[in-house]
């Protein structure tokens, strides 16, 4: 590889695949607060995590929600996909609608949890990568469901 291509390659941000769950219940959406000391600490997010090599998006999300929230979920449709560049890295997020199968969410690997209404989304601070999703979420049909 010549020097110009090496420099361009080294300057490119690695892309990190992240699967996130949109867990709805009774017209509310589950959000998690990032732990102190983590990237984007204190911000709220949709629970999930990094996809391992050769792991499907759905398997990743089931594993992450089991580890972070001590729940089992059924992974449904992909609601949105967003790619966002942060300094030093780029994340590709896929947000999936999920249904709780077993367990009650608890903050095993996050600072706190909350159930929010569409109006309540604006009361919490989310990472910049979630802006596009936050604009689309209030119209999600799952918010109008009374029991999920």
The answer to whether 71 touches 100, Cβ cutoff 8 Å, is yes
Q: Which of 93, 71, 72 is nearest to 81 (CA)?
A: 93
What total of structural domains would you count in the chain?
Answer: 1
**Structure confidence by residue, pLDDT tens digits, 51-81:** 999 999 999 999 999 999 999 999 999 999 9
Range of 97's domain? 3-144
pLDDT (tens digit per residue) in 118-139: 889 999 999 988 988 999 998 8
Residue 37 has a pLDDT of: 75
- Is 142's pLDDT higher than 90? no
Which DSSP helix (H) or strand (E) runs through 45?
strand 44-45
Domain of residue 26, CATH code: 3.90.79.10
pLDDT in tens, 28-55: 999 999 988 777 778 999 999 999 999 9
- Nearest Cα neighbor of 128 from 77, 93, 96 is 93
Q: Torsion angle of alpha carbons 118, 126, 98, 37, nearest 10°?
A: -150
pLDDT at position 70 is: 97
């Amino acid at each position: 590889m010549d020097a110009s291509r090496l420099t361009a390659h080294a300057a490119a941000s690695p892309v990190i695949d992240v699967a996130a769950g949109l867990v709805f219940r009774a017209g509310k959406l589950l959000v998690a607060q990032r732990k102190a000391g983590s990237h984007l600490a204190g911000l709220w997010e949709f629970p999930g995590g990094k996809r391992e090599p050769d792991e499907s998006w759905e398997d990743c999300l089931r594993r992450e929600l089991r580890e972070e929230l001590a729940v089992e979920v059924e992974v449904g449709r992909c609601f949105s996909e967003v790619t966002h560049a942060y300094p030093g890295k780029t994340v590709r997020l896929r947000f999936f609608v999920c249904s709780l199968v077993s367990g009650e969410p608890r903050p095993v690997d996050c600072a706190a949890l909350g159930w929010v209404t569409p109006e309540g989304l604006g009361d919490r601070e989310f990472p910049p990568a979630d802006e596009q999703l936050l604009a689309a979420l209030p119209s999600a049909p799952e918010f109008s469901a009374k029991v999920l």
